[in-house]
Structure 1
Amino acid sequence: MQGMKHILCPTCTAVNRVDDARLAQAVCGKCAKPLAGAQVLHLDGPLLDALLAKDDLPLLVDFWAPWCGPCKMMAPAFEEAARRLAPGVRLGKVDTEANPALGARFGVQSIPTLVLFRNGVEVGRLSGARPAGDIVTWTLGALR
């Protein structure tokens, strides 16, 4: 059916079918938590893999580390971008200090690095700290 998406619950990882028109208000049928809010997700390997494999929303991932000054400076801008891009795009962060294998797996050479995925496939990459407006503009442009 046109307009329906498979949306993975970031809390319990249940897959839900949601109409595009109701995405902003949708809650998980299993745990009743919001499905596609404006919050930035903190991603580990299993959650990232599940989102890439089972979720129909584009996913923008910020690969960062707690010791990285530019990463910390960009954090509020990334949160603002999440608010502006919701509910049609998910935003998540991977702490490369806590999850070095994920940074290596995706070939992250420097941080912060933004990697945009659609249908589980990388469609864009941007390195360096950016303001919220640039993150939103780049993301929307890469998804056209």
Structure 2
Amino acid sequence: MSDADASLRIACPACHALNRVPAARLADAPVCGRCKAPLFAAHPLALDVEGFERHVVQSDLPVLVDFWAPWCQPCLMMAPHFEAAAGELEPAFRLAKIDTQAHPALGARFAIRSIPTLVLFRGGREIARQSGAMGAGDIARWARAHAR
């Protein structure tokens, strides 16, 4: 079976159900089999601990997570760039945000020491990390370079 024939497990951003989608059909605007919501909406998901497990650990897509906090000015400045990067990187990637103030256990679990910090995961494992605010183009280039 070729990579294009393989199916991927993708968590729905609306109901978090796992869906199987052929890799070759990712760009065809797939919808959730349970709730019929689009699986890709070109914007990052806000994740809590349960959502992290479903979208990062149980899904097959690489997931780029922005660890941030609402009081962090560089985080707030980067937010629209991260949003724009979601439109550029989906459906090859899922982009997500974790508010480290609201979910400190996730920040501690991944030893987040400064924010914003981008962490790229594949199969629930960290494969790359970058701290500091970045523009949309830099975010997309960085993610693609490290996902190989």
- Which TM-score band applies after superposition, normalised by the shorter structure? over 0.9
2:96 corresponds to: 92
In the aligned structure 2, how far is the partner of 1:117 from the partner of 1:53? 8
For the Cα contact (< 8 Å) 2:89–2:140, is it kept in 1? yes
2:11 corresponds to: 8
Ranges of 4+ aligned residues in structure 1 off by more than 3 Å: none
Are residue 136 (structure 1) and residue 140 (structure 2) matched?
A: yes
For the Cα contact (< 8 Å) 2:46–2:96, is it kept in 1? yes
Are residue 62 (structure 1) and residue 70 (structure 2) matched?
A: no
> Taking structure 1 as the reference length, what is the TM-score of the superposition?
0.95
In the aligned structure 2, how far is the partner of 1:135 from the partner of 1:43? 19
Q: Deviation of residue 87 (structure 1)? A: 0.7
In the aligned structure 1, how far is the partner of 2:123 from the partner of 2:105? 22
In the aligned structure 1, how far is the partner of 2:52 from the partner of 2:129? 16
Q: Deviation of residue 39 (structure 1)? A: 1.6
Q: Deviation of residue 37 (structure 1)? A: 2.9
For structure 2, list consecutive stretches of 5 or more residues without a partner in the other structure: none
Identity %: 56
For the Cα contact (< 8 Å) 1:37–1:87, is it kept in 2? no
In the aligned structure 1, how far is the partner of 2:91 from the partner of 2:73? 29
Q: CA RMSD in A?
A: 1.1
Deviations along 1:91-131, whole A, 9 cap, x unmatched? 00001111111111110000000000011110000000001
Are residue 30 (structure 1) and residue 34 (structure 2) matched?
A: yes
Q: Report the secondary structure of 2:120's partner residue.
A: strand
1:18 corresponds to: 21
